[in-house]
Amino acid sequence: MSQFEAITEENFETVVLKAPDAYLLEFGATWCQPCRRLEPELEKLEGMLAGSVKFGQVDVDTAPDLAAQFGVMGVPTVILFQQGQAVARLTGYQPLKKLQDLIEKHIG
């Protein structure tokens, strides 16, 4: 898992649901190869968006209830939250362009 903020079942509500900005949350695991491939794409995206979207990660092995709450059946799964609501999701490795399109579609 990378340098993004670690989201747990304990801090999810205060960090993600109450975030004033859009929040992109990656559900992954340390053993997941596609997750490792996705993280550099997310890091590039974070740099491109210059703080207009917050980024975080959920380790599904340590937060299984959170993964279940959002119907995460495979990793990596990326969910975009706006004003506390899940508004979009992608599952599996995604190239930078697809991630960028997802953000632009929902937050401009």
List active site positions: 32, 35
pTM of the model: 0.94
pLDDT reported for residue 104: 93
Predicted local confidence at residue 95, as pLDDT? 96
User: Which pLDDT score, from 0 to 100, does residue 56 have?
Assistant: 96
Q: What share of the chain is helix, strand, coil (3-state, %, to 5)?
A: 40, 25, 35
Residues 26-83 pLDDT 10s: 999 999 999 999 999 999 999 998 778 999 999 999 999 999 999 999 999 999 999 9
What is the token pair recorded at 37? Answer: 């491939």
In the predicted structure, residue 3 carries a pLDDT above the cut 80? no
* CB atoms closer than 10 angstroms to residue 41: 18
**Per-residue model confidence (pLDDT) at position 50:** 78
